[in-house]
Homo-oligomer: A and B are copies of this chain.
Amino acid sequence: MSSSRTTIRDVAAQAGVSVATVSKVLNARYGVSAATQARVQQVIDELGYQSSIVASSLRSHRTGVLGVLVADLEPFSTELLKGVAAAVRGTGYELVIYSAGGRSGERVGWERRYLSRLGGTLIDAAVLVTPTVVDADHGLPVVAVDPHAGAASVPTVSADNQRGARLAVDHLLGLGHHRIAFISGWPGLESTRLRHEGYRASLAAAGVPLDADLVLEGDATQERSHVLALDLLQRPERPTAVFAGNDMAALGVLAAARELGIAVPEQLSVVGFDNVPEAVMATPALTTVEQPMQAMGEQALRMLLELLAGGTPASRVVLDTRLVLRHSTAPPPF
């Protein structure tokens, strides 16, 4: 606030030239004599002048910055960001990250609002992480990671969710479990649907009838899953295993079991999805399906750069998942 920032006019005045000339040296344009160039540059340094990215981008419609939009900074998006950050290095672009801050109320469509408020003026292109809406209509290049179901014309990158879920449930089945509950992630996400599908496919392949009461709709948060699990685990015929749609939900289940005095894995097996760093720290360490989050971030950024360069990246990239065995699963009791 206050103490008015030094503007291009201050520099111009001080150097005894026009603002246009200053702008030219700022942007290394042709048509400035070495002498003026030097003089202006000196004044710039003296005054510690920095051009306002806002003003310049308002005018020039390009900014040299790429945006990543995440709904919240939970472990999944955080891992993904590391990959994006790694991939942007050395490209000459800068990275800014927008977090909606996890406000649930206005969650749907927030990325569209952001995009149109920022696009063309503040960022040149964007990676959307678990977007709720994906249409091509916002004028700038966009790549979506783990998108909402029904993604349209935007290039997407995701993990092999369906296969990952099958790996998880096959593992539980293999241990001898039959009553396997499923707590889903954010409804609407393609990944949620596919994991659910994998769960059903796995049961079907093993000839285990689906019990609809064992399928719960969560929202990928630990809190919600905790509440759901508290109820689930107090039923007369509780499941012997839970496949949670993501790791944070699995941690919620672990917490609920602990409160109810149910031992994991002796009396209850739990499998997660993602393999976030937190999964290892859980007690017991969580058996989970790993999706290559950092690689997904890198991939998304590479596709964005290709788009920016006028190319046409693959419209849909799917990376592999694999099961990571730790200590939250065991054969069922009795």
Contacts and interface: CB of A to CB of B under 8 A. Distances in A.
A315 interface: no
Given A81-B78, A97-B96, A277-B278, A51 B140 contact: no
Contact of A58 (B58, B96, B99): B58
A33 interface: no
A53 interface: yes
Contacts of A99: 85, 94-97
Contacts of A98: 94-97
Interface in A14-52: 48, 50-52
A85 B75 CA distance: 12
Contacts of A89: 101-103
Contact of A101 (B48, B88, B120, B139): B88
A281 interface: yes
A235 interface: no
Contacts of A102: 85, 89
Interface stretch (A111-119, A222-230, A261-269): A111-119
B117 A51 contact: yes
Interface residues of A, number: 49
A309 interface: no
Total copies of the chain: 2
A295 interface: no
Interface stretch (A1-9, A159-167, A190-198, A208-216): A1-9
Contacts of A90: 103
A247 to B, nearest CB: 12
Nearest to A141: B1
Contact of A277 (B2, B53, B141, B280): B280
A316 interface: no
A117 B73 contact: no
Interface in A252-305: 276-278, 280-281
Nearest to A56: B117
Contacts of A96: 96-99
Given A1-B140, A5-B119, A85 B72 contact: yes
29 contacts: A1-B139, A2-B139, A3-B139, A5-B119, A5-B120, A48-B116, A50-B116, A51-B117, A52-B58, A52-B117, A52-B121, A54-B58, A55-B58, A73-B82, A73-B85, A78-B78, A78-B82, A85-B99, A85-B101, A85-B102, A89-B102, A90-B103, A96-B96, A97-B97, A97-B98, A97-B99, A122-B122, A277-B281, A280-B281
Interface of A: 1-3, 5, 48, 50-55, 57-58, 72-74, 78, 81-82, 85, 88-90, 94-103, 113, 116-122, 139-141, 276-278, 280-281
Given A50-B113, A89-B103, A277-B281, 14 more contacts: A2-B139, A48-B116, A52-B117, A54-B57, A54-B121, A72-B85, A74-B82, A78-B78, A85-B101, A89-B101, A95-B98, A95-B101, A96-B97, A277-B277
